[in-house]
């Protein structure tokens, strides 16, 4: 019996085009499927070809519940090519859009994400079936820390449950990459409409925790919250809030090293250092290649006294924000303010984005993304953008397919 070989066209470039997670670049899988008769000069009847773009999310360290499957597989897109012809060789162009909510190919401590092109070929009048699986490596670029949506000043004011303390906080950015610093400016004040003795309330300590929120949206939906990092900053018996309150700047860095050491430090500002209270001047960013971090100017000195040069860079194996069909991993910064018995303790949670790219790498990637946005016009012209359709079953977009080529 004549057999059939199925392969993708060899190439020195990725089959993933555009920038996944950035819709303006029309991210897509673009390749060519090659079918060849394994017997020279003898034709073979190919009946039908099915190509599926699939995503599989698998739990690594056991299932969280007995009724939750070990892995979830979803079909993100499907193409069908009815052939029913004799061939010696067949070339089938493949063009598959990558959805915006795609998760990168990754493997962290909880879950592994893999993408594949799965090909099924029915031949010999449907008597034979050939299956091949081709891995697709996808990186996403929708969480670059330089994007404007992550760099708008965030400010908020909250009261303690007994209304004796007012907490004002602000963040210049809510997104950080590897070895970068998240800065939270906090001002803790007496509520002078209630508190008469302004020296009575003392802030004793501040506890900072990085929480990972794993949200599984399967048939047995569940949410698991894990504290990845924790550190308590002791204020040596307590500091009085007084008339002007206390202004604190907390600098936080995600620790990707194998140790549990937490890189968190508190900086105290005196009144004359911060006349605008919560509005800080934008520091000049200076890249330090020896440390691979952005030093945020003179307002914050080299705050990490115990910096370790062997801190691992966030990669596809690190903890970072991502969303797939069946799950979502997000992060929150939990801050607990402990007072003496004169006031109730306070707690706040701040959603943050952890990217697998720092700002220096993001600037370089942004140049490439802009180039891809420009190149999309050539792509749309080549495929005739007026023929793009919408498919609610798999993906909002379905590209027109180039005709296959048969060699009989």
CATH of domain 148-356: 2.60.40.640
Give a three-class secondary structure readout of 297-313: CCCCCCCCCCCCCCCCC
Q: Provide mean pLDDT across the span 334-351.
A: 93
What integer pLDDT is reported at residue 286 of this predicted model?
Answer: 37
pLDDT of residue 237: 83
Is it the case that residue 281 has pLDDT exceeding 70? no
As annotated, the residues of the chain forming the CATH 2.60.40.640 domain(s) are: 4-142+362-396, 148-356
Of 65 and 331, the structure prediction assigns the larger pLDDT to 331
Two tokens, residue 230: 């924790």
CA-closest candidate to residue 175, choices 360, 365, 357, 369: 357
**Topology given in CATH for the domain delimited by 4-142+362-396:** Immunoglobulin-like (2.60.40)
Query: How much is the average pLDDT of 325-352?
Result: 91
Instruction: Report pLDDT digits (tens) over 174-217.
Output: 999 988 888 999 999 999 888 888 889 999 999 999 999 988 87
Q: What is the DSSP letter of 192?
A: T
Predicted confidence at residue 362, as pLDDT, reads 93
- pLDDT bin (cut points 50, 70, 90) of residue 364 is very high
In this structure, are residues 25 and 19 in contact, taking their beta carbons and an 8 Å threshold?
yes
Cα separation, 233 vs 221, whole angstroms: 36
Beta bridge partners of 189: 166
Residues 6+ apart with CB under 8 A from 137: 14, 16, 105, 115
Using one digit for the tens of pLDDT, what is the confidence trace for 120-137? 999 988 888 999 999 999
Residues 6+ apart with CB under 8 A from 320: 143, 314, 329, 354, 355, 356
> Cα(310)–Cα(214) distance, rounded to whole angstroms?
28
Distance between CA atoms of 283 and 234, rounded to whole angstroms? 28
Alpha-carbon distance of 310 to 305, in angstroms, equals 15
Q: CA angle, 151 as apex, 147 and 154 as ends, to 5°?
A: 145
Residue 109 pLDDT grade (very low, low, confident, very high; cuts 50, 70, 90): low
Classify residue 69 as exposed, middle or buried by CB count within 10 Å of its CB (0-12, 13-18, 19+). middle
């Amino acid at each position: 019996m004549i057999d059939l070989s199925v392969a993708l066209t060899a190439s020195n470039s990725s089959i993933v085009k555009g920038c996944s997670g950035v819709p303006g670049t029309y991210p897509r899988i673009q390749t060519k499927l090659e079918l060849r008769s394994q017997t020279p000069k003898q034709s073979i009847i190919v009946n039908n070809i099915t190509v599926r773009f699939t995503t599989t999310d698998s739990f690594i360290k056991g299932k969280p519940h007995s009724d939750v499957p070990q892995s979830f597989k979803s079909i993100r897109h499907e193409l069908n090519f009815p052939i029913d012809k004799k061939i010696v060789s067949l070339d089938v162009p493949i063009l598959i859009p990558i959805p915006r909510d795609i998760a990168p190919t990754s493997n962290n401590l909880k879950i592994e994400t893999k993408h594949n092109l799965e090909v099924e070929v029915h031949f010999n009048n449907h008597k034979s079936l050939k299956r091949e699986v081709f891995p697709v490596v996808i990186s996403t670029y929708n969480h670059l820390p330089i994007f404007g949506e992550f760099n708008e000043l965030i400010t908020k004011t909250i009261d303690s449950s007994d209304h004796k303390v007012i907490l004002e906080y602000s963040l210049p950015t809510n997104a950080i990459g590897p070895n970068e610093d998240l800065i939270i400016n906090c001002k803790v004040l007496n509520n002078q409409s209630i508190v008469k003795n302004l020296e009575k309330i003392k802030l004793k300590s501040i506890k900072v925790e990085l929480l990972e929120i794993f949200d599984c949206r399967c048939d047995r939906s569940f949410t698991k919250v894990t504290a990845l990092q924790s550190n308590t900053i002791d204020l040596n018996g307590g500091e009085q809030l007084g008339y002007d309150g206390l202004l604190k700047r907390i600098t936080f860095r995600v620790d990707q090293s194998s140790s549990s050491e937490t890189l968190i430090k508190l900086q105290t500002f005196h009144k004359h250092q911060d006349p605008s209270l919560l509005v800080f001047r934008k520091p000049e960013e200076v890249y330090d290649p020896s440390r691979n971090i952005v030093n945020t100017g003179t307002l914050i000195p080299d705050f990490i006294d115990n910096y370790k040069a062997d801190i691992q860079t966030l990669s596809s194996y690190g903890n970072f924000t991502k969303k797939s069909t069946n799950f979502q991993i997000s992060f929150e910064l939990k801050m607990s303010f402990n007072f003496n018995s004169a006031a109730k303790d306070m707690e706040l949670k701040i959603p943050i984005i952890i990217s697998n790219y720092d700002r220096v790498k993001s600037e370089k990637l942004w140049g490439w993304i802009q180039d891809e946005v420009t190149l999309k016009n050539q792509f749309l012209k080549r495929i005739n953008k007026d023929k793009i359709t919408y498919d609610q079953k798999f993906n909002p977009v379905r590209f027109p397919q180039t005709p296959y080529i048969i060699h009989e």
